[in-house]
Amino acid sequence: MVPFVYSMPTKVVFGAGMVEKAGAEACAIGRKALLVTFREEHVKSLGYYDKVAQSCEAAGVALVPFFGVKSNPSAEHAAEGIRIAKAEKPDLILALGGGSVMDTAKYIAAGYHYDGDAWDLAAGKAPIERALPVVCIVTIPATSSEMNGTSVMTNETLERKEGFASLHLRPKTSILDPELTYSVPVLQTAYSSADIISHLLEHYLGHQLDFAPYQDYFCQGGVKSIMACMDRILENPADPDARAVMMWQAAFAWSGFYDAGFGLANSIIHILGHSLSGFYGTPHGAAMSVTILGSMRYYQKERAKKYAGFARGVFGITSQDDDVAAAAGIAALAAWFKKIGTPTTLAEAGITDPGAIEKMAPDALATATAWGETEAFGYTVDVMKEMFELCI
């Protein structure tokens, strides 16, 4: 294992009904909070907003609402949140929503203390030296944003999606109440499942260690647990046990916990996926189910032994021929994505632009370069094109 430093300062409050603790957790930090969430009508119609507002009122925490976060959140919208925060001077930020909301909250938290354009922080042009405290109330488990210091934002003007990270952005507290997820539509839950699996697979399939049974089996078990949860949710979207397990598994898929010791991550699934979302607005999880398959096909021969282990451990493939088993595992994963309703090709994701690959390949290479992976993994524009072609 590669040496590492691991720290998990985020306090987790988990369980049905725990949304009622939001006010007390916020009050432990301050008495005024910027509440970042999605569309006002939507969040209020689901009852989330009222539960949080009542809890905060009872705890003596004043709320400044900031509505309107969307899938693939934009830096332009978040800039207005930063403006409001600088005017209102909150003690903390409450993020009520899924990954898009949590990422927006982190972006605002970092931009609050920065005098220039906050996009400088996302693009790595300026360091994140401090941030407002963030408390997350998760309604859509998928991205592990509730447990990590990462944010992913889209600059719509530049048509550029950036992922960036800082220890200052790790949430102080995250409230994981499975009851808030019961009303999440099945298709959106399927996208979340693909996203969780992408986080697990990226590190598992990309690491070069000869011996990593703990991490490898953690990944295999995690993927199987998400599949088991989705099977139950397809039958009953409000299955309390499936919703709870999925919420907890999502928190640890990309929190820095299971991949500790792997060294530099090969983040190709997300490198490719960010371009789909950045140019075509593809929901993040939908992009992941496409790029998981494309990147696996690209590395299939080179990593046949690893892929065969995945196929046998997750899907029960019995072939002892690694090449045969690897191919069968990729096919089985594609079939499962189809079963739950997530796309498996660019066309199924709604990307039919004949110039899409020419447009996305340089963008994906720019992401790989920004993340320090171009040289390490030999990525070029031609490699990116080949991978995207394997997503057709």
pTM of the model: 0.96
- Residues pairing with 136 in the sheet: 95, 174
The three-state DSSP-derived secondary structure of 256-313 is CCCCCCCCCCCCHHHHHHHHHHHHHCCCHHHHHHHHHHHHHHHHCCCCHHHHHHHHHH
* Structure tokens given for 215: 């991490």
In this structure, the number of other CB atoms found within 10 A of the CB of residue 80 comes to 12
CA–CA separation, 348 and 337 (whole Å): 11
Go through the domains of the chain in sequence order and give each one's CATH number: 11-180 (3.40.50.1970), 185-389 (1.20.1090.10)
Going by C-alpha positions, the residue among 78, 104, 95 that lies closest to residue 157 is 78
pLDDT at res. 291: 98
State the Cα–Cα distance between residues 287 and 99, nearest whole angstrom: 15
Q: What is the mean pLDDT of each run of 10 residues along the chain (392 residues)?
A: 93 98 98 97 95 98 98 97 98 98 98 97 97 98 97 95 96 98 96 98 92 95 98 97 98 92 94 96 97 98 96 98 98 98 98 97 97 96 98 96
